């Protein structure tokens, strides 16, 4: 299925990965949002569960094995042309996970991978929904580690 002007939404998985109280972000290498910091993730493949997709995408984009801890939210990313045609439509299922060991290395379509303290997130110029999801995950992370 084409990612531009698709016949139906594409299901994607976003992963908020924690180590201690730092979150892992990747610099996107491809559209949408190429060059921007974002959550690791990507399209779900036929026959895999959301959690399986999260584990696969984390490994491909960061080299890390993760433990998926739970579901966060679902976000729609829809971009339209001036004439109203839908250029891109992603339904993003966001999960949060832990990666207690291993070195994060950018792979697949990521240009870079880096850990960020939560107090630096607002200064990165992230998509507003990405920021919201990270802070939602942080609340859950803190609750489970207090």
Say if 26 falls within a structural domain. yes
**The pLDDT of residue 69:** 96
* CATH number of the domain bearing residue 135: 3.90.79.10
Domain count, the chain: 1
Average pLDDT of the chain? 93
Say if 3 falls within a structural domain. no
Say if 5 falls within a structural domain. no
The Cα 111–Cα 106 span in angstroms is 6
The whole domain housing 98 covers: 10-139
Say if 19 falls within a structural domain. yes
**The pLDDT of residue 130:** 95
Q: Taking residues 58-81, what's their average pLDDT?
A: 95
The Cα 33–Cα 92 span in angstroms is 14
**The pLDDT of residue 145:** 74
Residue 59 to residues 14, 70, 123, Cα–Cα distance (Å)? 13, 18, 27
Q: What is the pLDDT of residues 84-125, one digit of tens each?
A: 999 999 999 999 999 999 999 998 778 899 999 999 999 999
Say if 63 falls within a structural domain. yes
Say if 98 falls within a structural domain. yes
Give the model's confidence band at 1: pLDDT under 50 very low, under 70 low, under 90 confident, else very high: low
Say if 144 falls within a structural domain. no
Say if 135 falls within a structural domain. yes
């Amino acid at each position: 299925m084409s990612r531009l002007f698709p016949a139906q939404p594409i299901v994607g998985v976003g992963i908020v990965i924690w180590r201690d109280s730092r979150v892992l972000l990747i610099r996107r290498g491809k559209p949408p949002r190429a060059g921007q910091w974002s959550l690791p993730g990507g399209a779900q493949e036929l026959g895999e569960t959301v959690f399986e997709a999260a584990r696969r995408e984390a490994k491909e984009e960061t080299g890390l094995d993760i433990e998926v801890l739970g579901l966060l939210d679902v976000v729609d990313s829809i971009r339209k042309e001036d004439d109203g045609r839908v250029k891109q439509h992603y339904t993003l299922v966001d999960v949060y996970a832990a990666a207690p060991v291993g070195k994060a290395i950018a792979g697949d379509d990521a240009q870079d991978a880096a850990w960020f303290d939560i107090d630096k997130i607002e200064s990165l110029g992230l998509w507003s929904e990405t920021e919201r999801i990270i802070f939602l995950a942080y609340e859950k992370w803190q609750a489970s580690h207090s």
